Amino acid sequence: MQNYIKTIKESECLTRDYSLNATHSKIDTEKRTVELSFSSNTPYQRWQDANEVLEHRAGSIDLSRLNNKGALLVNHDWNRQIGVVEHAYIDGDKARAVVKFSKRQEAQDFFQDVQDGIIANVSVGYKVDQAEPDHNNKAVRVTKWQPFEISLVSVPADVTVGIGRNTAQSINQETAKLEAVLNHMTTTNPEGERMSNEVSNLNHVNKGDVTGVSSAKEAVRSFDEGIKNERERVAQIGSLAREFQQADFARSYIDNGASFESFQKDLLLHVQSTQRERLRTLEQQSPQVNAVQSCANNIGMSDKETREFSLTKAMRAMSQPMSAQAREDAKLEFDASETAKRKMGIYDDSFVIPTDVLQRDFTVAGGGNALVGTELRASSFIDMLRNKSIMMSIAQRLSGLRGNLSIPRQTQGSNVYWVGEKEDVGEGNIVTDQIHLSPKRLGAYLEVSRELITNSSLDAETMVRNDLLAALATGIDTAALYGTGQDKQPLGLTKTSGIATVEYDAASPSLADYIGLETSIALQNADVANMRYLLNPALRGAAKTTPRLPNSEMTVWESGNTINGYNVEVTNQIANNQVIFGDFSQLIIGLWDGLRLTVNPYALDKSGGIRVVVMQSVDFAVRRPESFAIANKKVVV
C-alpha cells in the first residue's frame, strides 16, 4: 500500500471518469451552463489488488483552482479549452460544478452534444497531497487532494491502465496490450517493427527476477512514449491536412511513418503547385481571373447575395445604432457577418466582411441604384488590394489562413561525396528550421462623410471600397517593410536578421552602388532572374539624372523602368535614401480570413462624418534572408 501511496503522490496529474447524464444535469441554454457532478467517494480500481477512494469531507478537497476560473477541457487536452468552471462545491459524498461553455463554434458543438446526450462522460484531473492505507477494504484513501480541471471525454480511460503496478504479472498485461497495438504499427511504420521485436522479449522476463522486471518496466515506459509520439505525429499531419483539405495527400505520409516536418514541407510545395495548375485552368476559361483564393471559410452566399452586399448599408446602420430602419435595410449584410463570425470563431462586436464577398468579382449588378453607363473592372476585393499594395503584388501570398502556420526551410545543404564502385555514399547533413506565421491584427482608419454612406449609388460603394483598400494597402506595405516585431507588430523585411547591408557615399546611389547590392546577393548563391529594386520617388528622380558612367549620356534609370536590367518598384513607403533589392518571392505575406470593420459615429460629430476602423490579421516571414540586400546613405559623423 505504501508503494501505491508514494506513486499517486508523485504523480502530477491523475484522472477519474464519471457518467454525465444530461437529463439529470441542470442545463441553462441561454447562459450556456451545465451543472454536473465530477467526482464521488465511490471506490475506483486504480491497481490490480487495491482501490482508490477520494474523500469528500470539508477540508479534504481543495477547490481553489477550480473556483479560480478552472478550465473545462476536451479529453484533458490543455490546448482545447471549451469553457470555464463558474462554481465548484461539495454536495454530500460528491463534488459538483457549474461549467460555462464558450461561444466559439467548437464549444457550441460540445454543448449541443451534452444536451443531446451524445457526450456521456465527464472526467476530472487532480493531484493527490495526502493519502493513507485502508487495509480492511484493500484501498488507498485519499484524504487531501486538489482538482484542477474538468474534461468532457469521448472514451473513458481504461481502468486496467493504472499507476504503480510493479509486478511481473502487470508487466505481461502491459506487454499484451502493446503487442496488439504494435501488430498494426509494423504495417504502417518501420519503427513499429523494431518496437514489436523488443516487446516480444518481455515475455521471457523471469517473474522472480526483480532486475528483469525493472528493465521490462523501463521498456514499457519507452514503448508508451513511442506510442504517444506516433499518435502526436498522426494528429499533427491530420490536422494540417484538414486545414488545407489534403486528406488524400497526407495518407501516404501517415502510412510510411514520415515526420511531420517533411510532410509540412512537401504539403507547401504541393499546394503551391496545385494552385498554379488551377490558376492556369481558370485563366484559360476566363482571362480576367488572376488569382486563386481559398474558399474554406466561405459561408455559402449566392451570387445574387454577394452582388447585393453593400458596405455603405452596413456602415450606415453602424453609424445609426438607434435606427431600426437602417438595421433592417442592412439585414443581409449583418446576417452574413454574423454567420462568417461564427464560422471563423470571432466573438466580438466588429462587423466581418465574409470571404464570399471578398472573393467575388465587383461588377455592375444592374440594380435600379446603379448609375447608367458605369462599369467597373471585374476584380475581387482581394485582387484590388493586391493591385494597390506594392508588397502584395510582388511577395508570396498565403491567404485564407486559420490558426498559426509553421513552414520548414532548409538552412544548410547536404554534403557531396566522391565514391568508388560499390562504396556507399555518406549521409548528408541537411539542416532545417522553421519560420512561423501567426495572426497580428493591423488596424487602419478612414474618415467617411455621412452624405457618402447615405448615397446608395454604385459610385459611392466604389469610393468606400477604394478608401478601405488604400488604408489597408498602406498599412500592409509599411508593416511588411518596417515592422519591428515588438508591441504586437509583425517583423518586417528590413528588421529581419541575416540581410546584407551596404552604404553609399554620394547624394544618391551610383550604378556601382546598385551593382554592389546585386553582387552581395550573388555571393550568397541567392541571385535569380526575377529580382527587383524598391525605391521611393526621390531616388527614382535621382536615378533619372545620374549618369551610368562618367561623361555618359545614359542614366542609371533605363527604359522600361529598370536599373541594370532589373525591374524597379516605386513607393512612398520606402524610407528616404534607402534602396532594397532582392527576390521578393522569398517574402511571405500571410492573410487570415476575417476583414473586420468598426464604426465610431461620434468621433467626427462636429464635421458631420464618421470614423471607420478596418482590421485585417496579417503576418510576414522571410524564407531566405540572403535573397535580399539593403543600401543606405552613409551617415557622416
Report DSSP letters for 381-439, one per residue: HHHHHHHH-HHHHHSEEEEEE-S-EEEEEEEEPPP-----TTPPPPPP--EEEEEEE--
CA distances from 169 to 6, 165, 166, 208 (A): 20, 9, 8, 11
CB 162 within 8 A of CB 50: no
**What's the mean pLDDT in 330-350?**
84
Higher pLDDT, 395 or 218: 395
Report pLDDT for 206: 41
Rg (CA), the chain: 32
Nearest to 81 by CA among 154, 156, 149, 157: 149
Residue 95 C-alpha cell reads as: 463534488
Q: Judge whether residue 314 has pLDDT over 80.
A: yes
The answer on pLDDT for 180 being more than 50 is: no
83/107 Cα distance (integer angstroms): 7
- Least confident range of 160-169, 278-287, 357-366, 476-485: 160-169
**Res 383 pLDDT > 90:** no
- Comparing C-alpha atoms, which of 628, 622, 623 is closest to residue 518? 628
pLDDT surpasses 60 at 524: yes
Long-range contacts of 502-505 (CB under 8 A, 24+ apart): 502/629, 502/630, 502/631, 502/632, 503/631, 503/632, 503/633, 503/634, 504/631, 504/632, 504/633, 504/634, 505/634
Phi first, then psi: give them for residue 378, nearest 5 degrees.
-65, 115
563 by Cβ neighbours in 10 Å (0-12 / 13-18 / 19+) ranks as buried
Q: What is the mean pLDDT of the chain?
A: 75
Q: How far apart are CA 453 and CA 464, in angstroms?
A: 8
Whether 269 shows a pLDDT value over 60: the answer reads yes
Give dist(CA 280, CA 290) in Å, integer. Answer: 9
Residue ranges in 429-587 assigned as alpha helix (H): 450-454, 458-482, 511-522, 537-545
pTM of the complete model: 0.49
- Mean pLDDT, residues 372-376: 29
Containing H/E element for 358? Answer: helix 355-359
* Residue 316 pLDDT greater than 80, yes or no: yes
**The total number of residues written for the chain in this structure:** 637
C-beta neighbour count of 629 within 10 angstroms: 25
pLDDT in tens, 430-481: 455 678 889 998 887 778 777 777 766 667 777 777 777 788 888 899 999 9
pLDDT of residue 223: 60
Q: Is the pLDDT of residue 182 over 50?
A: no
The model's pLDDT over 134-173, given as tens digits with 9 standing for 90+, comes to: 877 788 888 898 998 998 886 554 333 322 223 333 334 4
Can you count the helices (H) and strands (E) in the chain? 18, 24
How is the chain split into domains, by residue range?
2-152, 166-287
Contact 471/614 with Cβ under 8 angstroms? yes
Q: Can you tell me the distance from the alpha carbon of 404 to that of 409, in angstroms, rounded to the nearest whole number?
A: 16
Residues 56, 41 contacting (CB under 8 angstroms): yes
pLDDT at 171: 38
Nearest CA to 627 out of 563, 581, 579 is that of 581
Inter-CA distances, 576 with 157, 385, 512, 535, 562, Å: 64, 25, 19, 9, 20
**DSSP, res 523:** T
